[in-house]
Amino acid sequence: MTFPKKVCTPYRKLFFLSLIWTVLFILMIPAASSVAGAVSSPVHTEVQVNLLNLRTGPSTAYTRIQGLPSGTPLEVLFQEKEWLLVRLKDGTTGWVDGKYTGFTSNLADKLPPVIGEKATVTVNLLNVRLGAGLNYQRINQLHLYDTVTVYFHEGDWVLIRLGDETSGWVYREYTSFTPQAAGTEPQIPDINAASETPPSAPHQQLTSAEEEEQYPYHVIVTSTPLRLREQPQLNSTPLGELTKDMVLIVLDKTKEDWLQVELPDGRQGWVAGWCTQKLEEDNKNSEKKGTDPLIRLAAVTADILRVRSGPGLDYTQIGRVFCGNHLLIQQEQNGWYYVRTPTGQYGWVSSEYTTPVNIVSRGNSSAKAYDVTQYQNITVVIDPGHGGQDKGATGISGLKEKNVNLTVALYLEELLRARGFNVVMTRKNDTSLTLAERAALAEKAKADLFISIHANASLNNKYASGTETYYYQNKKTSPQSLYLASLIQQEVSAALKLPSLGVKKAPFHVLRETSMPAALVELAFLSNAVDETILASDHCLKLAAEALYRAVLRYYNLNQ
């Protein structure tokens, strides 16, 4: 139908105006939604070199996941200096060096904001994966109460940053992270509190047995930075910062899970207990059974044994140990040992390629009721090496040789005096003595035996381990000195269960300048983390003293 010109003109104008407004309204809807979507729209770039390594962390020091050829598309999630946290098309997440991609500074403003919340792990052995799903490769495992930083949340999974700065995906349900409700502001973490922020997941309720915890016991630092504090509270004065994997002696514990600890260098203070993990030790259980506490070692029998991040062959290799090395066993699981290696590293090794060794007391060296007048004419000089300003060697965790030597010497003195021997100590406290003064003191006392106690160290070989004993071969009493050294070597190496490095000749001043039979024992190596742990154990130092006591008794053909 056609309208006369005069009739249709106003309707036509109205029709066109309505049409224009309708089109504008329709156009505005997608425009508005596209602007809103731009805030969270993915930022893409691609690889611009022939082969670019994808890594678990933001530097070339981290493990290589795979190589990416030129042109590989990347979704950029986060930037740290020149490094980019990216996701591949298959969902794999990792870090690449941004300068080898098409990423530019103007794209940085378009990156999605990270959540940034601290979260704690609420189960033991939580798998960390390369992508948000069970089908992705496992690259790490977290322990109960480990602290992580949440970057992104996606369905049932969260992308986290670990304490060692690597990244990966974990199942959200097994963390304390709770997604923010829509429209609420994300919680900003307290940077100063760092990983000391108490976990939002409740700790396990203590049983009556745990409430009666037997002190001291050992824990290992699992989250950093962890501060040693003057008092058990976050606002207390920091006394220092502790490194991950440092072993601490726990002296006391509050209901709020603050631990009073002693560091390897002797310092004391308080740390957040939720940033540590108790080391499994047999001391408490063995005491309940009426037996001596023990330290468990594993002697490596394979030429090369891999240290892994978890108890199985599918876990990442994180180190190596070698035939003859002694490892400190912390835990055992399905044919695998969680150990501390000679270099101080913690990890898992297959028990199939080790021989377990327990350091326990022989139980027959304690002082008994003897006729103490029978041996009072036998004078034994005990010489704790070093002292005062002369610390001697220092262990990798800060243990000082002078303190080890003195502790063993005092225990040995007690045993010998109880048996009736006349004992002369070159020092009974932390004082300085020259070598000449030590030898002169032994000569003045007209000693029958001279025993110098030391701990060893190697600057060039951190795997060096074991016991060795020295004598001087060019004096009248050298045959007797050799016999004494041989007995000491047999007893001490057997007691500490470390490699026997044998009896050796050396012109040490205290051996050369003393006229009586004399021997110098090097108990173990402070430069070896396992040996140092043994020397840090009061129980093991008592065993060393008992071994020296037995050597003296054997020298004089006395019953034990």
Exposure b/e, 92-106, CB count within 10 A at least 16 = b:
bbbbbbbebbebeee
- Which residues are catalytically annotated? 522
DSSP 8-state assignment for residue 403: H
Cβ of 471: how many Cβ atoms within 10 Å?
27
Name the pTM for this structure.
0.53
User: pLDDT 10s per residue in the chain (560 long)?
Assistant: 444 444 444 555 555 555 555 555 444 443 333 222 333 578 899 999 999 999 988 888 888 899 999 999 999 998 888 899 999 999 999 999 999 999 987 787 677 777 777 888 888 788 899 999 888 888 888 888 788 888 888 888 999 988 778 899 999 888 988 876 544 433 333 333 444 555 544 444 444 434 456 777 888 777 666 788 888 887 777 787 776 667 778 888 888 788 998 875 567 889 888 788 776 544 444 333 334 446 889 999 999 899 988 888 888 888 889 999 999 988 888 899 988 899 888 888 999 999 988 886 655 444 444 555 567 789 999 999 999 999 999 998 889 999 999 999 999 999 999 999 999 999 999 999 999 999 999 999 999 999 999 999 998 888 999 999 999 999 999 999 999 999 999 999 999 999 999 999 999 999 999 999 999 999 999 999 999 999 998 889 999 999 999 999 999 988 76
Which pLDDT score is estimated for 159? 93
Residues 335, 330: Cα–Cα separation, whole Å: 13
Q: What DSSP line would sit under 12-56, residue for residue?
A: HHHHHHHHHHHHHHHHHHHHHHHHHHHHHPPEEEEB-SSEEEEES
> Residue 288: what pLDDT?
39
- The whole-angstrom separation of Cα 181 and Cα 492 is 65
Provide the pLDDT for residue 2.
44
**Do strands 500-505 and 467-471 pair parallel, antiparallel, or not at all (unpaired)?**
parallel
> Nearest Cα to 467, choosing from 509, 397, 413, 519?
519
Closest residue by Cα to residue 406 from 423, 389, 431, 378: 431
Residue 214 is predicted with a pLDDT of 73
- Token pair of 141 as six digits: 């495992």
Contacts of 40 (CB under 8 A, 6+ apart): 112
Cβ contacts of 18 within 8 Å, gap of 6 or more: none
Pairing of strands 449-456, 518-525: parallel
339 pairs with which residues across the strands? 329, 347
Joined together, the tokens standing for residue 473 give 């071969």
Q: How far is CA 227 from the centre of its chain?
A: 15
What's the pLDDT at 118? 81
